[in-house]
């Protein structure tokens, strides 16, 4: 894994910080020992991994991630999953919604259940670590991005003192209905940055109009350039993939290659200089 230098005094958006948080999202795929060693090298003396196993018929094996803390910064990172494992979960038939815990719109039922499983432990870890008003950051790739976004929303709506300084996600799917997306955008304006790498298939699902992405989208085009793209750019693509999900999730498909965390790391590494 590439060495990065976290700026523990960061309080605002920046590409070097985005690259660091993408590295943290990638680290969430590793075991607790690797997490502890790597975060210590990044200047976080405290780390705490969390993992809760799910029982069938729930389609995911577990929900996991970590909390890392220094005296100036706390990072919460969620593990993602392989695109093929998300295929059926993000289809029309399985994209059922349930009320959000803060009673602000509705959210994908599977994402809600996955977050519910770890939320008490996560909340305790964050509040225990935040002893001196440290900045608070959430990150994740793929499913991990969806969980990072929802965890940040839940913490803030439950306790406004836990408003994240930033939420950076990479290849996250749509997670919620327009009502919750609007409430989220109002609360996290200037704090949420949702990176989408070119044709990333997961970022195009579940389909609109029941689901809507939150802002702000940071689109990495086919030339590796970063552009602000409106959600409507990918909205039409979601309609085109409806009913053809299996083919687009085939190994080697462009949308799958663009989804891999290593693709995000490579692109952001170049952009961050």
Instruction: Decide if 185 is inside a domain.
Output: yes
Per the DSSP assignment, residues forming a β-bridge with 212 are: 176
- The region, left, alpha or beta by phi > 0 then psi within -120 to 50, assigned to residue 103 is left
Provide the pLDDT confidence category of residue 245 given band limits of 50, 70 and 90.
Answer: very low
Instruction: Decide if 6 is inside a domain.
Output: no
What's the average model confidence in pLDDT over 157-178? 96
What's the average model confidence in pLDDT over 204-227? 93
Number of domains within the chain: 1
What's the average model confidence in pLDDT over 43-57? 88
Task: Output the pLDDT for position 102.
Answer: 80
Instruction: Decide if 140 is inside a domain.
Output: yes
In the predicted structure, residue 53 carries a pLDDT above the cut 50 = yes
Instruction: Decide if 150 is inside a domain.
Output: yes
Task: Output the pLDDT for position 44.
Answer: 98
Q: What is the CATH number of the domain that holds 111?
A: 3.40.50.1820
In the predicted structure, residue 1 carries a pLDDT above the cut 70 = no
Distance CA 254, CA 214 (A): 24
Distance CA 48, CA 70 (A): 12
- Specify the pairing of strand 46-53 against strand 97-99: unpaired
Q: Where is average pLDDT lowest: 34-43, 93-102, 191-200, 231-240?
A: 231-240
CA atoms in the 13 A half-sphere facing the CB of 142: 27
Instruction: Decide if 7 is inside a domain.
Output: no
Residue 48 is part of which domain span? Answer: 15-272
Length of the chain: 273
In the predicted structure, residue 95 carries a pLDDT above the cut 80 = no
Per the DSSP assignment, residues forming a β-bridge with 98 are: 107
In the predicted structure, residue 174 carries a pLDDT above the cut 60 = yes
Distance CA 172, CA 100 (A): 18
Task: Output the pLDDT for position 56.
Answer: 63
Provide the pLDDT confidence category of residue 34 given band limits of 50, 70 and 90.
Answer: very high
pTM of the model: 0.90
H or E segment at 195?
A: strand 192-197
Instruction: Decide if 2 is inside a domain.
Output: no
Task: Output the pLDDT for position 4.
Answer: 82
Task: Output the pLDDT for position 233.
Answer: 45
Nearest-5° Cα angle at 124, 122 to 128 = 120
What's the average model confidence in pLDDT over 175-203? 96
Q: Is there a contact between 237 and 149 (Cβ–Cβ < 8 Å)? A: no
Instruction: Decide if 44 is inside a domain.
Output: yes
Provide the pLDDT confidence category of residue 2 given band limits of 50, 70 and 90.
Answer: low
| N-to-C CA span, the chain | 17
Instruction: Decide if 4 is inside a domain.
Output: no
Distance CA 16, CA 206 (A): 30
């Amino acid at each position: 894994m590439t060495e990065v230098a976290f700026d523990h005094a960061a309080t605002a958006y920046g590409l070097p910080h985005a690259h660091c948080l993408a590295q943290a999202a990638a680290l969430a795929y590793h075991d607790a020992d690797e997490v502890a060693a790597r975060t210590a090298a990044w200047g976080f003396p405290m780390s705490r991994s969390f993992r809760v196993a799910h029982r069938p018929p729930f389609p995911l094996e577990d929900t996991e991630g970590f909390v890392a803390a220094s005296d100036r910064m706390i990072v919460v990172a969620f593990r993602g999953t392989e695109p093929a494992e998300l295929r059926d979960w993000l289809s029309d038939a399985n994209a059922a919604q349930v009320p959000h815990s803060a009673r602000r719109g509705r959210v994908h039922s599977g994402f809600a259940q996955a977050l519910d499983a770890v939320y008490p432990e996560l909340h305790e870890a964050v509040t225990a670590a935040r002893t001196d008003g440290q900045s608070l950051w959430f990150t994740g790739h793929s499913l991990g991005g969806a969980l990072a976004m929802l965890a940040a929303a839940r913490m803030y709506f439950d306790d406004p003192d836990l408003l994240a300084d930033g939420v950076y996600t990479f290849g996250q799917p749509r997670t919620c209905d327009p009502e919750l997306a609007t409430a989220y955008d109002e609360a996290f304006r200037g704090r949420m940055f949702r990176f989408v790498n070119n044709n990333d298939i997961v970022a195009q699902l579940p389909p609109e109009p029941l689901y809507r992405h939150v802002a702000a989208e940071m689109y990495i085009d086919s030339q590796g350039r970063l552009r602000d793209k409106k959600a409507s750019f990918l909205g039409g693509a979601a309609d085109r993939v409806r009913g053809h999900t299996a083919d687009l999730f085939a190994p080697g498909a462009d949308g799958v290659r663009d989804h891999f965390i290593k693709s995000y790391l490579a692109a952001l590494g170049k952009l961050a200089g």
